[in-house]
Structure 1
């Protein structure tokens, strides 16, 4: 029997030990090479695009020879105004991509020896950068669509006579959300968060190209897709797969997301559920890549992402 990829040496091309052993200068060089690959790591001004700059080595900054503005390798990126060392940032990325089901902010703060607030914001910035990879992406080949509900759990009362039917709307707390996934077979995974699974019909109209075959379960709201797409249906009360019709790829994604939410984070706010859903989709899409390649991909996404409107100065409101 062939060895699973994740058990092979090819999947392990980066370690935390290597990052810290190489030192701060090597980490800084890695940032420069990934930020400016077209000039082999030589600085390019983010303001005017000029490729010649003076080096201010004492502060690891540059001064553009054309517009005379000062900038650093993280200026204008999601890491702008960073205070962590470059080795710590690389280590954080390595820890996050190594975790197949995500990593909690508490664990990340302990591994990096930083405050919980620092780890929380850093992890969310990286999730935001990961989501940019599939921003405005469209599905152009056979896919599956499904939904799964998360959050909104209401603890029952201790005494039986005090308990209420938690299925009734009047007794719910309003925090329950559904993650809707449209997953291309052997392709990309696109997600959105809504209050009802029926909203997935509009999501499919926006992200799946007309004419693409969609596989869905027996839920009646998917009937509304029949006028726009070739639709294949599978009734899960009878079977999980019949003649190639199934939603197993979508269920595989939900399996990872459920374990991420329940096993690592334990509680996810509905306000940020979409970021955890995108994180799980990113891990699912690149699950056959080595951890070194994953780290470089995540760092490239972070350095290509603009300053975060949601997370810059988060704890300062």
Structure 2
């Protein structure tokens, strides 16, 4: 019997032991190589593109010989204005990608001995960077569409005579959200949260190429996609897969997301649900890559992303 990839040595190409034993300089060089891969880590000015720069090595900064601007390897990126050292940042990313069902900010703060606020913002910055991978992607071919609800749990009353039917919309919490997933077979996974699953119809039209084959369940609102797509429907009350028609890929994503929320985060606010869904989708799409490759992919994406307008100065704005 063949060994599962995640159990093999090929899946383990990065470890905390190696990160901290190699030290700060090796972590810094890794960030440089991933920020400027076309020059194998040799810096160039992010403003004018000049390759002639001075290395201010005592401060790990560079100065452009053309426009005289100073910059660092993290200038203008998600990691701008960072306080963590490069080895701690790489260690945090190693822990982040190693967690196949997500990682709580409390656990990361304990592992790295940093404040919970630091871990919380860092992880959301990483989720913002990985979500950018599919921000403009269009799905085609065979695509599975499905939705599931998260949050908004209403605790039943203590006395039986005071309990209400929580299935009725009038007795539900306003915090309940639906996540709609579009998953291309053999391709990428795109997600978005809505108040109601039916709102995902326009989302599907926006992100799926017309004429593609869509597999969906028997929920009525997916009928609206029939004029633009080749629809294949599966009635889950009769079978989960029939003649090659199924939504098993979408269900696999929801399984990971539910375990991520229930097992790690315990509670997710509706305004952040989309970032957690994007995180679960990213883990699903790259589940057959080694953890070292995942770390490099995430660092490269974060260094290519602009400064986060939502998360830079997050706690300062909340305190104000």
TM-score range relative to shorter protein: over 0.9
Work out whether 1:43 is the aligned partner of 2:33: no
Match of 2:234 in 1: 234
Match of 1:113 in 2: 113
Work out whether 1:263 is the aligned partner of 2:263: yes
Match of 1:95 in 2: 95
Unpaired runs of at least 5, structure 2 = none
Deviations 1:102-146 (A, max 9, x none): 000000000110000000000000000000011110002111000
Match of 1:148 in 2: 148
Deviations 1:258-292 (A, max 9, x none): 00011110000000000000000000000000001
- Cα separation, 2, equivalents of 1:217 and 1:66: 60
- Cα separation, 1, equivalents of 2:2 and 2:163: 53
Map 1:33-182; keep pairs closer than 5 Å.
Answer: 33-182=33-182
Deviations 1:202-250 (A, max 9, x none): 1110000011000000101111111110000000000000110000010
**Deviation of the 1:49 alpha carbon:** 1.1
TM-score with structure 2 length normalisation? 0.98
Query: Bigger CA drift: 39-48 or 75-84?
Result: 39-48
- Cα separation, 2, equivalents of 1:306 and 1:195: 29
Match of 1:300 in 2: 300
- Cα separation, 1, equivalents of 2:300 and 2:235: 42
**Deviation of the 1:163 alpha carbon:** 2.1
Unpaired runs of at least 5, structure 1 = none
**Deviation of the 1:57 alpha carbon:** 1.2
Map 1:12-31; keep pairs closer than 5 Å.
Answer: 12-31=12-31
**Deviation of the 1:169 alpha carbon:** 3.0
- Cα separation, 2, equivalents of 1:47 and 1:53: 12
Corresponding residue SS for 1:120: helix
**Deviation of the 1:19 alpha carbon:** 0.4
Work out whether 1:284 is the aligned partner of 2:287: no
Query: Bigger CA drift: 210-219 or 152-161?
Result: 152-161
- Cα separation, 2, equivalents of 1:23 and 1:308: 28
Deviations 1:85-116 (A, max 9, x none): 00011011110110000000000000110000
Deviations 1:28-66 (A, max 9, x none): 000101001111211111111111111111111111101
- Cα separation, 1, equivalents of 2:152 and 2:315: 25
- Cα separation, 1, equivalents of 2:29 and 2:276: 30
- Cα separation, 2, equivalents of 1:231 and 1:157: 43
- Cα separation, 1, equivalents of 2:220 and 2:80: 47
- Cα separation, 2, equivalents of 1:235 and 1:171: 28
- Cα separation, 2, equivalents of 1:219 and 1:138: 24
